[in-house]
Structure 1
Amino acid sequence: MPSNTPAWRPIDLDPHKPAYIAIADAIAADIRDGRLAPDTRLPPQRQLAHVLGLNFTTISRAYAEAQRRGLLDARVGQGTRVRPEACPRVRHAAARAQLIDMSMNLPPEPDQPALLARMETSLRVLCGDINSLLCYQPFGGSPEDREAAVHWLARRGIATSVDKVLVCPGTHSVLNALLSTLVGTGGGRVCCDNITYPGIRALAAIHGVSLLGLPSDTDGILPDAFERCCRDNQPAALYINPTIHNPTTTTMPAGRREAIAEIAARHQVPVIEDDPYGLLPEAPP
């Protein structure tokens, strides 16, 4: 007679969580710890429900939750199995859980199987039109891209039009173009924080631009220092990273921004605002 003992069963389910979530967590933990190997077939849902004293619906929801996280695959006639891709991801995430690399300003690696599964799905959608991805893109962005940018900027309180939007391949290409346009080559000056983004230093060196470092406090660049710099040096531009400044993480409050903007307008100094993290604060200035 076949055994009623399943090949796998969860150990120490968290009693403070809904049972289906606790079972999905147990699946993730056992994959991480190597108790569930790639392509392992999980027990039939009715069998596991009987062994755990739960109803069939709870086990069905648990397996569905684990699938949503990218841990399991279910196929008709083949049962529910551990996705091979889930195993290295979960173990790799656990291995680096205690290590935070502060040597570079990089986003955290996506280590949640559910997030990775959604990213894979999105990439498959993008690859559905692979020919357009392999072609040269319209200079400055497609009309659709620029229209989307106009709507996005409007949500930030910036009113503009499609003909004034330029979509670029990256921050450095934008900064390179702005330095070329506003400063030119040789002898120009640009104000910035004393401690500033390393990329602007490299680009300034290429263009022969002198960076004038301004002292700051916990709110960012000091207005008096910027005023003196404008009066004494006639800078061609001000480079500023006011939200989650790289590398100090300072966010300039609204009052300080207004003071800096007023000085720049009065001295006719263009402001290059580098704002890669503007959407991150819950309550931005």
Structure 2
Amino acid sequence: MTIWEPAGLAGSGPRYLALADAIGADIAAGRLGPGDRLPPQRDLARRLGVTVATVGRAYQVAARRGLLTGEVGRGTFVAPAPAPAPAGAAPVLDVAAVHPPGHGPVHRAVAPILHRLAADPHAVGAEDADAVRHRIAGARWMAHAGWRPEPDHVEVTAGGQHGLAAALAAFAPPRHVVVTTELTNPGLLAAARLLRVELATVPSDAAGPRPDALDRLCARRRVAALHLHPTLHNPTGLTVPAERRRELAAVATARDLVVIEEDPFGALLPDRPPPVAAWHARTVHLSGLTKTLAPGLRIGYRHAPPSLAEPLRAAARALAWAPAPLVAEVATQLVLGGHAHQLAAARAAELTGRAALARELLGDRVAAPGPAPFAWVRLDRDAEAVTALARRRGVAVAGTDEFAARRGAQAGLRVSLSADDRTVRTALRALARLLPA
């Protein structure tokens, strides 16, 4: 038996998922090797101070991920390293990741910018001069529905995840919680685990997070911040209407909360309602180009009032110091030249067509069709089992566990619509055969 246990199960979300993630991390790092036997569930539960059921479920999740195998009467072992795929084997259709393809029209728009920059050795690097233009570009990218952020209140980040992690680091003090939805952005879960931030959840209805539930939670717990993803929510695709945004802003104002508002897909929906930042001053509004245009454009924009700026700036510098100047300059030229919004509009039209196909093939189980780069497929059974079955049939999708901030969250699959057209269509048809009518 391997004498193994993780360094800790810090962070938020279900503890069984944290343990399953720790198993995967130690396998990837070589601390657990193929054939190593894991401790019996009861022994590990006692050492970690969790229930046997928590360890058992973690082992099950790790097994479904292909990390562990079990032998009756012998125990649980690290699975053998996967054998190379046989020649001619059909590749897995990956509709789990939602990154845009990052080629075609985006490459054609970026190429002349890079050529111009290459011809001018002084085009990048004058930080003081560049910073003003970058902030103007960020303000223009984020503006919508009458909301016009001041460029002086905008900062450029090394992508949306950088901005999100900095906001958590700045505004989640010990013994306080950050509130989010029961299904939420996996980036939030990862950052909360790393920074040892405790998450609490509020239920949602058809319009989004419930303000009454948020207010009751604030009365019971020490809430530091509210995390929202109100436009094309990841993973459900829901867009929260304006009235609900105003109601949430009212609770945040009454309870003196910082709001961390993510908007990574907002440019795909230019007629979206105003952001919560339009009604609640203490809002950190996060956007960027990465999830809309191309993964290589890892640039984010953060808007916040002056009262929040310094702790955000200090946290951002500690985490990544600053974004890459070259990428920031490319992003600025795309936005100020009008290309970024044009590319987003073309991508939204393509995604709307794919969402309609998902609805046609998978029916009413597809939630909130629209220009999101994914479709959320509601399930009435264990998402882990369906995800594993889909993988065996050659389709990789993301299941509830990747998004659950609490146990018992709605079961479902997030199916990416961002891959090439043939992959998306083939994967949707395979899932239609897999799921019961």
Question: TM-score when scaled to structure 2?
Answer: 0.38
Q: Bigger shift: 144-153 or 218-227?
A: 144-153
1:213 is aligned to 201
Residues 137 and 103 from structure 1, CA distance in 2 versus in 1: closer, same or farther, beyond 3 angstroms? Answer: farther
Distance 1:225 1:253 in 2: 17
| 1:87-115 per-position Cα deviation (integer Å, ceiling 9, x unaligned) | xxxxxxxxxxxx963211212454x5x66
User: 2:177, 2:223 within 8 Å by CA — same for their partners in 1?
Assistant: yes
Distance 1:144 1:209 in 2: 34
Shift of 1:277: 1.2
Shift of 1:190: 0.2
Shift of 1:282: 5.0
2:284 is aligned to none
Distance 1:249 1:154 in 2: 21
Alignment pair present for 1:121 and 2:109: no
Distance 1:145 1:282 in 2: 21
Distance 1:138 1:226 in 2: 42
Distance 1:104 1:232 in 2: 37
User: 2:144, 2:271 within 8 Å by CA — same for their partners in 1?
Assistant: no
- Select the structure that is richer in strand: 2
User: 1:236, 1:269 within 8 Å by CA — same for their partners in 2?
Assistant: yes
Residues 138 and 188 from structure 1, CA distance in 2 versus in 1: closer, same or farther, beyond 3 angstroms? Answer: farther
Residues 217 and 130 from structure 1, CA distance in 2 versus in 1: closer, same or farther, beyond 3 angstroms? Answer: farther
Largest Rg, 1 or 2: 1
User: 2:228, 2:262 within 8 Å by CA — same for their partners in 1?
Assistant: yes
Map 1:224-243; keep pairs closer than 5 Å: 224-243=212-231
Shift of 1:234: 2.9
1:278 is aligned to 266
Match of 1:107 among 86, 97, 100: 100
Distance 2:132 2:270 in 1: 31
Shift of 1:129: 3.7
Alignment pair present for 1:248 and 2:236: yes
Distance 1:119 1:181 in 2: 34
Residues 282 and 172 from structure 1, CA distance in 2 versus in 1: closer, same or farther, beyond 3 angstroms? Answer: closer
Between Structure 1 and Structure 2, how many residues are aligned? 183
| 1:44-66 per-position Cα deviation (integer Å, ceiling 9, x unaligned) | xxxxxxxxxxxxxxxxxxxxxxx
Alignment pair present for 1:180 and 2:180: no
If asked which structure has higher relative contact order (CA below 8 Å, sep 6+), I would say: 2
Amino acid at match of 1:259: E
Secondary structure (helix, strand or coil) at the match of 1:279 reads helix
Secondary structure (helix, strand or coil) at the match of 2:266 reads coil
1:32 is aligned to none
The answer for unaligned runs of 5 or more in structure 1 is: 1-98
Distance 2:224 2:139 in 1: 27
- CA RMSD in angstroms, aligned pairs only: 2.8
Alignment pair present for 1:143 and 2:136: no
Shift of 1:182: 0.9
2:158 is aligned to 169
Residues 188 and 132 from structure 1, CA distance in 2 versus in 1: closer, same or farther, beyond 3 angstroms? Answer: farther
Match of 2:184 among 166, 187, 196: 196
User: 1:154, 1:160 within 8 Å by CA — same for their partners in 2?
Assistant: yes
Shift of 1:123: 3.2
Residues 130 and 196 from structure 1, CA distance in 2 versus in 1: closer, same or farther, beyond 3 angstroms? Answer: farther
Shift of 1:241: 0.5
Distance 2:96 2:121 in 1: 35
Distance 1:116 1:148 in 2: 20
User: 2:176, 2:222 within 8 Å by CA — same for their partners in 1?
Assistant: no
Shift of 1:266: 0.9
Distance 2:111 2:242 in 1: 39
Distance 2:170 2:109 in 1: 41
User: 1:187, 1:208 within 8 Å by CA — same for their partners in 2?
Assistant: no
| 1:118-169 per-position Cα deviation (integer Å, ceiling 9, x unaligned) | 4433432343346655x59569x71111133344445553344343221111
1:157 is aligned to 146
2:418 is aligned to none
